[in-house]
Amino acid sequence: MRVLSGIQPTGRFHWGNYFGAIKQYIDLQDNEQAFYFIADLHALTTIRNADRLRQNTLEAAIDLLALGLDPKQATLFRQSDVPEITDLTWILMTITQMSLLEKCHAYKDKKEKGIAADAGLFTYPVLMAADILLYDSDMVPVGQDQIQHVEVTRDLAQRFNNLFGETLTLPKSSVLDTSAKVPGIDGEKMSKSYRNVIEIFEDPKKQRKKIMSIKTDSATLEDPKDPDSCSVFALYKLFADETQQTELAARYRAGGMGYGEAKQAVHDAALEYFGPARERRTELSSDTDTLNDILAEGALKAREKGKEVLERVQSACGLGTARLSK
Ligand code: ADP
Ligand code: TRP
C-alpha cells in the first residue's frame, strides 16, 4: 500500500499543520510505503517571487525532517523535481470536464468573491490528481478541505480507465484527525490565511508573546473557569499527557488561577515538546548538502515510479515513449 501526500510551502508550518497533518505523515511512515512532497508547483499559484518560493520550499523540507520525517523510511521530494507530473497533468486535462472544475471550492470561492482566477487555480485539482495518480497511490491522507480534490482524482482515474482500459490506480482519501482542529490565537481555526498562527519553530520569546495574546473571556483571576471552552486549554491538550490535562482542568474549575498562568504552561509544554525538533532543525539548516542529497535521492525514487506509470498512461492513450526509453 502506498501512502502519498503533499503540503504547500506557502509559509512556515504552524501548530495546526503539525497536529492536523505532519504528525500523521510521520506516524504512517513506519508501516506503509510513504511518498511525501513539497507542492511547489501548487504554491506557484500564489507565490510570485523566485527567492521566496525557493527558500520556503527548502524551509518546508527542513521542517519536515526536523519534525521526524525519516528519509530512510519515507520518500521526501520536491514536486517540481518530477517533470513527469506536468505530462500527466496535460493528459488528464484533456479528459477533464469544465463543469467538474467549476464545482471545486478554491476556484468557486474566488469567483464568488468576484476575484479573477488564473487558469492555474482553475486547473489546480488536475495537477493534484496527477500528483496522486503518477505514483499508483492507494491512500491519501488529507485535511477535510481536500477530500473534494481526491474525489476529482478518482473521477478522472475512472474516466481514463473507461476510455483507455485499466491503467490508473483509484486512490482513497484518509481524513486526517479533524479532532485536531487546532485553534489560533483568536480562537478561530489556526490558519495562515487568518494570520492567527503560532509557528512551530518561531523564536521562543516571540512565540511566548503570541501565546500571551491568545484571546480569552473576561473572567477574573478568582473566578472558576471552563477548560472545555477555552482555546488556551485546547492548545495545552495537544502537548500534555492525561494526568497533566486533568490537573490543569481542575485548576481551571477551582478558580484562583489566571489565564496568564495557563498560557505560560502552554509555552513551557510546547518548548519541551518541540525541543528535540528545534535542535535537529538547527543542525539540518547548517547542512544544506545533506538536505539537497535527501531531496535528490527522493526525486530519483519518485521519478522511477512516476516514469513507469507515465509510460503506461502514454502507451494506453497512444502517445510516443521514445523520449523515455532513450
Ligand atoms: P493553512 O490553513 O495554514 O494555509 P494548509 O491549508 O496549507 O494550512 O494546510 C496544510 C495541512 O495542515 C492540511 O492537511 C490541513 O488540513 C492541516 N491544517 C491546517 N490548519 C489546521 C488546523 N488549524 N487544525 C488542524 N489541521 C490543520
Ligand atoms: N492541495 C493540497 C493542500 O493545499 C496540497 C497537495 C497538492 C496535495 N498535491 C497533493 C495533497 C496530493 C495530497 C495529495 O493542502
> The cell 520536491 sits on which residue?
78
Length of the chain: 326
How close is the Cα of 178 to the center of ligand 1, in Å?
Answer: 10
Ligand 1 atom 19, closest CA: 17
φ and ψ at 289, to 5 degrees? Answer: -60, -50
| 108 labelled catalytic | no
CA atoms within 13 A on the CB side of 60: 25
* pLDDT for position 110: 86
Nearest-CA neighbor of 129 among 108, 159, 99, 109? Answer: 159
Our measurement of the distance from residue 3's CA atom to the centroid of its chain's CA atoms, rounded to an integer in Å, reads 14
Rounded to whole angstroms, how far apart are CA atoms 177 and 79? 25
| 189 labelled catalytic | yes
* pLDDT for position 177: 76
CA distances (Å), origin 116, targets 10, 77, 113, 160, 254 = 20, 32, 9, 30, 54
Exactly one of 103, 111, 181, 192 is catalytic; which is it?
192
From 36, 42, 188, 191, the mutation candidate for ligand 1 (largest count of ligand atoms within 8 A of CB) is 191
* pLDDT for position 322: 61
Query: Counting atoms of ligand 2 from 1, which one is nearest the CA of 21?
Result: 15
As to burial, measured by CB atoms within 10 angstroms (0-12 exposed, 13-18 middle, 19+ buried), residue 286 is: exposed
φ and ψ at 308, to 5 degrees? Answer: -60, -45
| 111 labelled catalytic | no
Average pLDDT taken over every residue of the chain: 95
Query: For residues 216 and 230, is the Cβ–Cβ distance under 8 A?
Result: yes
Rounded to whole angstroms, how far apart are CA atoms 10 and 60? 9
Rounded to whole angstroms, how far apart are CA atoms 241 and 34? 28
Instruction: Identify which ligand lies nearest to the alpha carbon of 104.
Output: 2
How close is the Cα of 133 to the center of ligand 2, in Å?
Answer: 12
Query: For residues 273 and 204, is the Cβ–Cβ distance under 8 A?
Result: no
pLDDT along the chain (326 residues), means of 10: 96 94 93 95 96 97 98 98 98 97 91 90 97 98 92 98 98 83 95 94 98 96 96 97 97 96 98 98 96 98 98 95 56
Query: For residues 35 and 137, is the Cβ–Cβ distance under 8 A?
Result: yes
**Residue 45 CB: number of other CB atoms within 10 A?**
20
Q: Tens digits of per-residue pLDDT, 183-200?
A: 999 999 999 989 999 999
Cross-sheet strand order for the sheet of 172-175: 74-78, 33-38, 2-7, 139-142, 172-175
Query: Counting atoms of ligand 1 from 1, which one is nearest the CA of 143?
Result: 16
